[in-house]
Amino acid sequence: MNNRQIYQEFKNLGRDLFLNGDAAARNGNISLLLSNGRLAITRSGSLLSDLLPSDIILVRLEKNKTSPLASSELPVHRAIILKTGKKAVVHAHCPYTVALANRYGRTFPNGEYKAKFGYPLVIGQAEDFRIGGYSEEIAAALKEHGVCVVADHGLFAAGDSLKEAYVHLSALEASSKIAYLERALS
């Protein structure tokens, strides 16, 4: 995959996250392990709805190497890729899933989601949230599941491609919308 293809894939995914309501314009991040062993990750504060080529930062995968330009969630992305063997991570602050997890302490996947993916884990509690935190717990959860929820924060999804990671995140958020609306209508 060349730089233009990587950029186009990030741009399309960022736009989809925003247009589907999975993330606000600047809330979320995307990463992909490249064939040369480097990690492409969105820039801190980048506008997901309209990513530019300069919004994709290349960093080393090894831990303890910092990059002031990369997303503040870089330690989590690194842990996920190193511990799961997956190549792609998508993180978004999906409002319906986060709201249900905060209110009830768990998620409410519908029958179709459960049949395909099972129950995703909810990690942490709202009052304990910290950016870049729970790296080990998130990586462990994503070793077993395609997506997990960090309380009062958002979803992390992993896959062998950005598309696969996005499918996990999007499917859970769509299921959560249904659960949220069912509760609102009761």
pLDDT along the chain (186 residues), means of 10: 94 96 91 95 94 95 78 93 97 94 80 78 75 86 93 94 96 91 89
> pTM score, two decimals?
0.93
Q: Reduce the secondary structure of the chain to three states and give it as a string.
A: CCHHHHHHHHHHHHHHHHHCCCCCCCCEEEEEECCCCEEEEEECCCCHHHCCHHHEEEEECCCCCCCCCECCCHHHHHHHHHHHCCCEEEEECCHHHHHHHHHHCCCCCCHHHHHHHCCCEEECCHHHCCCCCCHHHHHHHHHHCCEEEECCCEEEEEECCHHHHHHHHHHHHHHHHHHHHHHHHC
- Quick one: pLDDT at residue 64? 62
- Quick one: pLDDT at residue 36? 93
Expressed as residue numbers, the domain containing 103 is: 3-185
Domain total of the chain: 1
Q: CATH number of the domain that 85 lies in?
A: 3.40.225.10
- Quick one: pLDDT at residue 130? 67
- Quick one: pLDDT at residue 129? 65
